[in-house]
Amino acid sequence: MAPAPVVAPAPTKGGQATVTVDSTIDMPTFRKFARLVYDRAGIKLGPHKRALVCARVAKRMRQLGIRKHRDYFRAIEEDASGSEAVELLNAISTNVTQFFREARHFGLLDRLLKGWEANGQTRFRIWCAACSTGEEPYSVAIAASEALESIYDTKILATDISTKALARAREGAYEPRHVEHVPNRMLLKYFERRNGSEPVHYLASEELRRMITFGRINLSKPPFPLKGPLDVIFCRNVMIYFDNEVRRRLLADMYRLLKRGGYLMVGHAESLSGMLSDFKSVEPSVYVKR
């Protein structure tokens, strides 16, 4: 059966839909959105997130010519292809990141890689589980290039639930404000400044791109189709959006994928305290597989 059409866009003026989206969402409709987002992505949306949902979905609703939130939810339900549900998750998911964010983790990564290589390891596998627009995996690639004598068999898997964030990550193009945390020496070495475009941007080098594979993974739906063993997993600033049930499932599968002695790095505001997990705490936000 052919996918059901979502909704035909309203007449546009200058490329923008003229429809005015309702500024509020009734509680029954909000609960439907919250349930769908939880079922599809494991993200908990409490009642205090009503304004956030309104703001995040408004642009998509204008594009489709839909004024009422209940009509947009019905459009998602009637879209047999599932693509509109993906658009909803694109809108809801948060993509806040920067190069070398939480820099202490990259100092630890440098020491780990150097130590493993000194002990004869030549194959390295790292997973950036919530890569957003790519700043994290490119930072990891730079750190690996700086730490290792050879990156021949070094691979980084970068995943996210947002298709829009992944598209930007694959481009690897960043405006000057996005690379302000990259040391100038590394910026010159690993990025190409493109002056002929507007705005001026920096393009990640082929050396970095060869190390990274991008893909869409829903962290709330383990087990994941990945092959271990992994040396390091970065899963930072994403578990705060999950409840304990989703966190436990996620941690169990990351534990499975890591090698013995492999490391998990979470956000500085996150903790596995109270979780039924076999990970051993090394320092705040850093854990090791026993």
Tell me the pairing of strands 212-216 and 154-160. Answer: parallel
Q: Please enumerate in sequence order all residues whose Cβ is within 8 A of that of 239, keeping only pairs 6 or more positions apart, or say none.
A: 247, 250, 266, 267, 270
Share of the chain above pLDDT 90, in %: 76
**Residue 155 near residue 232, CB atoms below 8 Å:** no
Q: Please enumerate in sequence order all residues whose Cβ is within 8 A of that of 248, keeping only pairs 6 or more positions apart, or say none.
A: 275, 276, 277
Q: What token pair was written down for 159?
A: 């995943």
Spatial distance between the Cα atoms of 234 and 266, rounded to a whole number of angstroms? 6
Task: Kindly indicate the confidence band of residue 18, based on its pLDDT and cuts at 50, 70 and 90.
Answer: low
- Answer yes or no: 35 catalytic: no
Neighbouring C-beta atoms of residue 40, cutoff 10 Å: 18
pLDDT score at 1: 41
At 182-230, the pLDDT tens digits run 999 999 999 999 887 677 899 999 999 999 999 999 999 999 999 889 9
Q: Is the pLDDT of residue 97 over 90?
A: no
If one compares 51 and 197, the residue with the highest pLDDT of the two is 51
pLDDT score at 12: 47
The DSSP output letter for 129 is T
Domains and CATH numbers, the chain: 12-92 (1.10.155.10), 104-289 (3.40.50.150)
Task: Kindly indicate the confidence band of residue 278, based on its pLDDT and cuts at 50, 70 and 90.
Answer: confident
pLDDT score at 100: 96
Tell me the pairing of strands 191-194 and 201-204. Answer: antiparallel
Q: Is the pLDDT of residue 13 over 80?
A: no
Q: Which residue of the set 22, 31, 56, 70 is catalytic?
A: 56
Q: Is the pLDDT of residue 31 over 80?
A: yes
pLDDT score at 151: 94
At 65-79, the pLDDT tens digits run 999 999 999 999 999
Q: Which residue of the set 50, 160, 236, 247 is catalytic?
A: 160
Per DSSP, the residues of 249-262 read: HHHHHHHHHEEEEE
pLDDT score at 270: 86
Give the three-state DSSP class for 75.
helix
Q: Please enumerate in sequence order all residues whose Cβ is within 8 A of that of 33, keeping only pairs 6 or more positions apart, or say none.
A: 25, 45, 53, 57, 69, 73, 88
Spatial distance between the Cα atoms of 59 and 32, rounded to a whole number of angstroms? 19
Q: Please enumerate in sequence order all residues whose Cβ is within 8 A of that of 94, keeping only pairs 6 or more positions apart, or say none.
A: 241
Tell me the pLDDT of the chain averaged across its residues: 90
Share of the chain above pLDDT 70, in %: 93
Q: Please enumerate in sequence order all residues whose Cβ is within 8 A of that of 126, keeping only pairs 6 or more positions apart, or say none.
A: 140, 144, 154, 155, 156, 157, 230, 231, 232, 233, 234
- Answer yes or no: 56 catalytic: yes
